[in-house]
Homo-oligomer: A and B are copies of this chain.
């Protein structure tokens, strides 16, 4: 028993130290390993398989909206990065610089892309001439590098994987529509696939992307009450087009600048899955994104016929289209249960000699630990239904947690007290001035997460300065 418990006991409890709990889960669920390159990680098979599922499903949704994939170089010449003023100021301090190729110094330094707006602009300037060349709706899957000082697996690392969409349009309206369309793709993806409810809104000018006219975001709430920016979609207007000279001849034969957007989602979403759904037994994967959905665990498997019957169950699950595996290793059942729980596999089948005698097995849900005894010939069907149910229940449970940790404040004292004492989102009115954002950040370490599309009139005055309020804002401490 001592040995069996070890796996579970080795996780710090989330109530005691959430940050350590997170790091423990990431390691014990076998998602990542650290490397000799500070701030860079190995994404191990169990972690990468989640990313593959994210990629597959996001890519499918992108393509439904007409997105085409491309690949651009990982290097950006320094002169190119500097073409758009706000953009270079935002990124130059955190890029990695290549100065030598082979044995020789380069004539011009190259940075490893932190994001590829400048490369896409350079490309579009050559590709786009006529209104017939528009729109361009391109995306790439790649890794990017940002030389962060402090790093955490998935949440903030020096290299991370993502997709970055970059589009060019004839009109401002079309660009704005695409920006919102992709934000909605992200929001739907998070809710339907990752079972993570999000708040959709616009970033304040202080928090928007370097070079963007408007940045839209989806914000989610982690179990510890901290916010996570989960996907962003930027409308650049014609700012980059002017800096890079991206013009087209319109139908009326006049030269016009294009309007551009970009939008990205990253491996950070694996961190979100962990922090929204996980518990003190480890990871909890939503069935739709889980690489393995059901683990079949035979009990007393040396007894005649047990493994054979368990394999029949496995085959029936696979035939049902379920991603199922069997763990018939020589570890004790308790150890194997703990492993399946740690890895967040949504459902397990326990099947031993007594079950077989009665032509049944036990299905155990990872999310709420409910057990149900099922006849073997109904098991695959029941498992399918349970996976759908688990997905729904996980979303509902995350939504209930988010709603229970979303507060309102109408004066500054209440606001500061809530931020300090009740981890979560705080909704409060704002005058629109950066001074108030700065003061709030200094006083509470909270930032404006977004100006939500769904506005409420909580008060008439700014929670910070008392001047007339323009918008309701979600505030919170964030990853």
Contacts and interface: CB of A to CB of B under 8 A. Distances in A.
Interface of A: 33, 35-37, 40-45, 48-49, 51-52, 68-77, 80, 93-103, 110, 112, 119, 122-123, 126-127, 138, 142-143, 145, 147, 158-159, 161
A84 to B, nearest CB: 15
Contact of A33 (B35, B42, B110, B126): B126
Nearest to A101: B147
A48 B69 contact: yes
B42 A73 contact: yes
Contacts of A48: 68-71
Contacts of A71: 42-43, 48, 51, 143, 161
A70 B50 CA distance: 11
Contacts of A97: 98-101
Contacts of A94: 102
A110 B37 CA distance: 9
B44 A70 contact: yes
Given A97-B100, A101-B158, 10 more contacts: A36-B80, A36-B122, A42-B70, A42-B72, A44-B70, A48-B70, A75-B159, A93-B103, A95-B102, A97-B98
A35 B147 contact: no
Nearest to A95: B102
Given A93-B102, A98-B98, A49 B69 contact: yes
Interface centre among A43, A71, A93, A138 (most CB of B within 10 A): A71
A138 B45 contact: yes
Q: Which 4 A-B pairs have the closest CB atoms?
A: A40-B73, A45-B68, A101-B147, A97-B100
Nearest to A94: B102
Given A45-B138, A127-B33, A98 B73 contact: no
B102 A99 contact: no
B74 A119 contact: no
Given A99-B99, A102-B93, A147-B101, A123 B72 contact: no
A218 B122 CA distance: 38
Contacts of A159: 73-75
A49 to B, nearest CB: 7
Contacts of A119: 35
A37 B119 CA distance: 10
Given A93-B102, A102-B95, A77 B36 contact: yes
A33 B123 contact: yes
Nearest to A132: B329
A327 B37 CA distance: 50
A328 to B, nearest CB: 14
9 contacts: A35-B72, A35-B122, A41-B73, A42-B71, A45-B68, A51-B71, A74-B145, A95-B102, A97-B100
A93 B104 CA distance: 9
Contacts of A145: 74
A330 to B, nearest CB: 10
A93 to B, nearest CB: 5
Contact of A35 (B95, B98, B123): B123
Contacts of A43: 70-72
A185 B71 CA distance: 26
B74 A143 contact: yes
B102 A147 contact: yes
A42 B127 CA distance: 11
Contacts of A72: 35, 42-43
A305 to B, nearest CB: 26
Contacts of A100: 96-97, 99
Nearest to A120: B42
Nearest to A291: B68
Contacts of A76: 37
Nearest to A93: B102
Contact of A70 (B36, B45, B80, B102): B45
Contacts of A138: 45
A127 B142 CA distance: 26
A143 B113 CA distance: 13
Contacts of A161: 71
Nearest to A103: B93
A94 B104 CA distance: 10
